[in-house]
Amino acid sequence: MAETVTIDHPTTNKIKNLNSGGLRSIKMKIKFHFYLLEMEDVNFHYNSAVLLPDYGEKAPEPGTTEQNRITGLSVLYACYKHAVENPTQFLVIIGHTDKSGPHYSNLLLSQLRAQNVLFALIGNKKDWVEVSLIKHKNEDYKQILKWISYTKGWNCDPGEINNDSDIKMRVAIENFQTACNI
CA–CA gap between residue 95 and residue 45 (Å, rounded)? 13
| Residue 145 predicted with pLDDT over 70 | yes
pLDDT at 173: 96
Query: What residues have CB less than 8 Å from 9, skipping those under 6 apart?
Result: 29, 30, 31, 32
pLDDT at 66: 67
pLDDT at 14: 52
Residues 68-93: tens digit of each pLDDT: 666 777 778 888 888 889 888 877 78
Residues 57-68: tens digit of each pLDDT: 566 677 777 666
pLDDT at 11: 47
| Residue 53 predicted with pLDDT over 90 | no
